Amino acid sequence: MSVRQRAGPVQLVTAATINALAKACAGDGIFAYLDADEEYGTPARFRCPTCRELGWNGGQAEIVDEWRFRCLNTGCTAQGTRWLLERLVLEDPDALERLDQVMNDVDS
């Protein structure tokens, strides 16, 4: 049984980390999301929900802390919050499915 089926969409989204929300918002694709690299101090990168740009390094947006992200694309420079990612996931059935999968992988 999936996390969403046990808890519901709102509970799933509020229980998720900002990394899981970013992964769900980023979509599918080889460079849509890249995990943080602790060894090199590189933050997680993902497809910016504002400009949707992808780079060779996993997208133009990076996670700043548990509550914020920013886009490094010079044409965008958007700054966003966890709340924006939560709302985007709740509004997109595909993103909600991706988040459910991410959360199930964590539970496994």
E strand or H helix at 28: none
- Indicate whether 94 belongs to any domain: yes
- Indicate whether 8 belongs to any domain: yes
Res 86 pLDDT > 90: yes
User: Which ranges in the chain belong to alpha helices (H)?
Assistant: 3-7, 9-15, 18-26, 82-91, 93-107
Number of domains in the chain: 1
Parallel/antiparallel/unpaired status of strands 33-34 and 61-63: unpaired
Domain extent for 77 = 3-103
Give the pLDDT confidence of 11-52 residue by residue, as tens digits.
999 999 999 999 998 887 767 888 877 787 778 888 888 888
The pTM assigned to this predicted structure is: 0.84
pLDDT of residue 1: 47
Listed residue (38, 64, 34) closest to 46, CA to CA: 34
Res 6 pLDDT > 80: no
- Indicate whether 59 belongs to any domain: yes
pLDDT of residue 44: 85
Name the band, by pLDDT with cuts 50, 70 and 90, for residue 58. Answer: low
Res 91 pLDDT > 90: yes
- Indicate whether 97 belongs to any domain: yes
- Indicate whether 108 belongs to any domain: no
- Indicate whether 31 belongs to any domain: yes
What average pLDDT does the chain have? 85
